[in-house]
Amino acid sequence: MNETDLGLWAVPLAILGGAIRVSTPFLFVSLGECLTERAGRINLGLEGTLVFGAMSGYAVSYLSGSAWVGILAGALAGALFGLIHGILCSLPRVNDIAIGIAMMLLGMGLAFFFGKGFIQPVAPGLPSIELGRWSDVPQVRAALKINVLFFIGAGLAFAMWWMFRTTRLGLIIRTVGDSADAARAMGLNVTLARVLATAAGDALAGIGGAYLSLYYPGSWNEGISSGQGLMAVALVIFARWNPLGCFWAALLFGGAGALGPALQSVGINQGYYLFYAAPYVFTLGLLFVTSSPTRVMAGAPGELSITK
Amino acid sequence: MSHSNSFPRRRFLQSTAGLAGLGALGMLPIASAHAAAITVGFVYVGPKDDFGYNQAHAEGAAAVRKMEGVTVIEEENVAETVDVQNTLESMIRFDGATLLFPTSFGYFDPHILALAPKYPDLRFQHCGGLWSADKHPRNVGSYFGYIGMGQYLNGVAAGHATKSRKIGFVAAKPIPQVLLNVNSFLLGARSVDPTITCQVIFTGEWSMAVREAEATNALADQGCDVITCHVDGPKVVIETAAARNCFVCGYHADQSALAPARYLTGAEWNWASVYTAMVKSMQAGEAIPNFVRGGLAESFIKMSPLGPAVPEAGRAQFEATRARILAGGFSAFTGPMKDNRGNEIVSAGQAFKESDVELESMNYLVEGVIGSTA
């Protein structure tokens, strides 16, 4: 209450706040997809996992009384979806993109089916850390109320970046993703590595879904995801398969999503449909500028079905 | 999507509705010799428990279900595409529905208009559509409620609750019904204090959870301390606003359970009263008028009970205003009145009552609303 009049400063503040609030699901899903794609598979089913994770996280949080148990449930549900995707794609002549679309429809359908009874109840949500105590401007305090999962996601981005660069596990995933033949020559089990990478990546997407229903916007309903799962898959390409890039891309998309409402709130009303399209226009522009007709996309794992 | 998974569900509904129909037939001679057996179909664009538009209609369907000799079939999440034609046809052919309520605005043109001539003996009742005798089939009816007056009463409660004298509105699209609600909300608040302003943010979509939450946060950042909305499911707006310590006014259905301490009141549909009356006249063999409208007095809309945060003076003015609306002839749009660009919209001496058709083509925001229709 007693909000201070910020004038046009409200816009950058809203973008900052929005970036932090809205980016977390993008971050988790894109990190999950990054892990899977670095191992050589594309999983388009993450939108379904996101919605199912949102539903199962909310339901289990409501039934158990603890939001953290809900997050765990979202992750487990995601891992299960990932296992199914991973195992099905390991069969001969199975296309991972087709399976991904099937898993997406399955995840959403199951979530709507099991989630019917959980639209009305109010489940306990996730706590947040108030980093804005130093400020006496309430808007700054509200913008800096940051959920723990955001920090976990940011830490995970760094951890994954470090893992790919320097650890044996990272090397295994990269080898499997870049050349299955080389991996086999090294004595690695390519199929197992890919199944596990898909399961782990899908578990992260499940956590991203649980964030949607347990923190922001913080309730379960059938329209909870507006395509974040699909956009996050595109973000991975945008981030050139680099986990740190995923982090910045997720922040950018979150902030761009806050632009439309924030501009309207300070009186810039003309053409708000255009502002709502800002993230997509920006992505298109950036991909256009950085693409090249003479080489394959930089950083793309060699075994991906779209680059092969 | 909804189409791909609708077929097995329809199969399932067919068999269960068929069983229920058999049961009803068996009971008929004893239980309800006077009421003709009738099957009524309801189609919703979203989930029927969304705390909003669809829930309001589903509550009406639930009241119809309790009537004697009536079988109710429902399908939710039906898109405003050829999907709704398939759903309606299967309700007609497999379940024998003779009275249909396709409740979403976008079902009307071209979907209902395409089906109605094929089934001239059945009745299609559409919510919000603009039926006109010279253009549309006779077996199509349109009904709607003057819920703008509900938002006016929301505004009265908001005017007494606000400290910052800034109130906020999260709106979906700048169409006449939404603009009427935004304007009415502000005019209600200005009947308490003429210096109050209302900030409106359009999300551009009927249902988009994250953007609705962002819009609510942006309003709170601008100092709005009472927030209401016109989106399909107000749950996200109500919860987000309450978490930002704003007061909230509900819309479509009763959302008081989501924020008991901060919920002032809400403008709700009263479809239970409307639908049971329509089914009754259908059972009695009477014709349902093609164009039905009603407000508080006709029990088309109702208000949520006042919450604990409304001060005593606010309660008194709220009840007095409600009594004036119920008495009839009340007009919120009285001249001289300007829109927020300075154009005169109601001239001196002119006044629009809730039932005046001029209000159904509203394309402006009144003076005091901060926002733009385009």
Does position B36 have pLDDT exceeding 70, yes or no?
A: no
Distance of alpha carbon B246 from alpha carbon B262, whole angstroms: 7
Phi, psi of B5 (to 5 degrees): -100, 5
Per-residue pLDDT, B3: 46
**Under CATH, which number does the domain A3-307 receive?**
1.10.3470
In whole angstroms, how far apart are CA A60 and each of A73, B7, B195?
Answer: 7, 30, 47
Q: Which residues of A touch B164 (CB under 8 A)?
A: 1-3
Q: What's the distance, CA A120 to chain centroid?
A: 26
B164–A3: do the CB atoms touch at under 8 Å? yes
B239–A5: do the CB atoms touch at under 8 Å? no
Per-residue pLDDT, A308: 61
Q: Would you place residue B50 in the very low, low, confident or very high pLDDT band (cuts 50, 70, 90)? A: confident
Closest Cβ–Cβ partner in B4, B210, B223 for A3: B223
The answer, for B221 touching chain A at a CB cutoff of 8 Å, is yes
Q: Would you place residue B342 in the very low, low, confident or very high pLDDT band (cuts 50, 70, 90)? A: very high
Q: Would you place residue B4 in the very low, low, confident or very high pLDDT band (cuts 50, 70, 90)? A: very low
Q: Which residues of A touch B218 (CB under 8 A)?
A: 10, 14, 258, 261-262, 264-265
Nearest CA among A64, A100, A105 for reference residue A85: A100
A2–B47: do the CB atoms touch at under 8 Å? no
Q: In this prediction, what percent of chain A has a pLDDT beyond 90?
A: 56
A257–B244: do the CB atoms touch at under 8 Å? no
pLDDT tens digits for A146-161?
999 999 999 999 999 9
Give chain B's mean pLDDT. Answer: 89
Does position B124 have pLDDT exceeding 90, yes or no?
A: yes
B221–A13: do the CB atoms touch at under 8 Å? yes
User: How many A-B residue pairs are in contact by the CB < 8 A criterion?
Assistant: 141
Does position A171 have pLDDT exceeding 80, yes or no?
A: yes
- Residue A207: its H or E element: helix A190-214
Between A279-283, B114-118, B237-241, B259-263, the lowest mean confidence (pLDDT) is in A279-283
Does position B261 have pLDDT exceeding 50, yes or no?
A: yes
Per-residue pLDDT, B14: 52
Q: Are B285 and B269 in contact (CB under 8 A)?
A: no
B219–A265: do the CB atoms touch at under 8 Å? yes
Q: Would you place residue A8 in the very low, low, confident or very high pLDDT band (cuts 50, 70, 90)? A: confident
| B240-259 residues touching A, CB cutoff 8 A | 240, 243-245, 257-258
This model of the complex carries an ipTM of 0.87
Mean pLDDT of A230-250: 90
In a mutational test of the A interface, the residue from B222, B231, B369 whose CB has the highest number of chain A CBs within 10 Å is B222
The answer, for B62 touching chain A at a CB cutoff of 8 Å, is no
B201–A264: do the CB atoms touch at under 8 Å? yes
Domain ranges of chain A: 3-307
Q: Are B123 and B100 in contact (CB under 8 A)?
A: yes
Give chain A's mean pLDDT. Answer: 89
* Shortest CA distance from B4: residue in chain A: A105
Q: Which residues of B touch A264 (CB under 8 A)?
A: 200-202, 215, 218, 371
B235–A221: do the CB atoms touch at under 8 Å? yes
Check residues A208 and A278 and name the one with the higher pLDDT: A208
Q: In this prediction, what percent of chain B has a pLDDT beyond 90?
A: 72
B220–A142: do the CB atoms touch at under 8 Å? yes
Does position B30 have pLDDT exceeding 50, yes or no?
A: no
Mean pLDDT of B55-68: 95
b/e sequence A9-33, b meaning 16+ C-beta within 10 Å: ebbebbbbbbbbbbbbbbbbbbbbb
Q: Are A279 and A15 in contact (CB under 8 A)?
A: no
Check residues B144 and B31 and name the one with the higher pLDDT: B144
Check residues B301 and B19 and name the one with the higher pLDDT: B301
DSSP code for B159 = H
Q: CA B131, B132, B136 angle in degrees (round to 5)?
A: 80
pLDDT tens digits for A102-148?
999 999 999 999 998 898 888 888 888 888 888 888 888 888 889 99
